[in-house]
Amino acid sequence: MGVVEAAREAAREQVLVAMMLGIPRLLGDPAWRAAEPDEGRGLGVLLAPGFGFGDRSLHLTATWLRKRGYVPIGARIGLNVGCTTELVDRLERRLAAHVEATGGKVVLFGQSRGGGLCRLLAVRRPELVRGLVMLASPVLDQLGAHPSVVRVARKLARLSAAGIPGLLDQDCFAGTCYETNSTAMARPLEVPAIAVFSRNDPIAPWELCADPCADCVEVASSHTGMSLDPEVYRLLAPRLAAWARISEPAPRAG
């Protein structure tokens, strides 16, 4: 369990640093303060955190969305260290429930690995998806993150093989799970999408985040701090508002 605890501590440390540097800047910026409460028109948003992080890492993103009339919910997948296929299955059920609750298609919004999971879900269930937002998500190569991150993921897979449940397993790296999701990740998107990347990102190489099926936008953020960057919210605001103005209802999720 040492590796799991180390991953948790590393995630907490990164969040703490990002919060100390990013939150005051974000909360003092007009991108945060200026809010039109009817802008979102009740559009549902499903938020998926990055590798090693939980829903609380996107708490401010949810708050920003809620202030503008969107209906955000968390992924409820824990620290996002599980098998890719199992996590997408869980997200699919969460998506279907949110479509039922809001009465329309839902925006998928993911950071880092969460963006990759959301892309897989958008390919699987495009009829339920209004749009896709990916922040610092290396979707062009599932194993293309910084080597230190990949090493942690492989150690988690070894722990899974030792009998610890709820973690990535070897099949996610070189088995049916990997092959199935690699094929799905390469499929073109049928929904509008935006991919945000940064050349200052030491975790996810920007070239792997530039999804050719998405509107690709560069910012100057760090990897962990991207969801706290006012520039990100300024560029997302008009795109999300445009998606909210599309009133076509979703088919029944079942």
More confident residue, 50 or 12: 50
- Residue 36 confidence (pLDDT) above 90: no
- Two tokens, residue 2: 């040492």
Residue 59 within any structural domain of the chain: yes
Give me the CATH number covering residue 22. 3.40.50.1820
Residue 254 within any structural domain of the chain: no
Residue 251 within any structural domain of the chain: no
Residue 253 within any structural domain of the chain: no
Residue 54 within any structural domain of the chain: yes
CA dist., res. 104 & res. 65, Å (int) = 17
- Residue 104 confidence (pLDDT) above 90: yes
pTM value is 0.87
Query: What is the average per-residue pLDDT within 1-18?
Result: 48
Domain that residue 45 falls in: 3-245
Residue 252 within any structural domain of the chain: no
Domain tally, the chain: 1
Choose the weakest-confidence range: 82-91, 131-140, 142-151, 167-176.
142-151
Residue 198 within any structural domain of the chain: yes
More confident residue, 232 or 222: 232
Is residue 160 very low, low, confident or very high in pLDDT (cuts 50, 70, 90)? very low
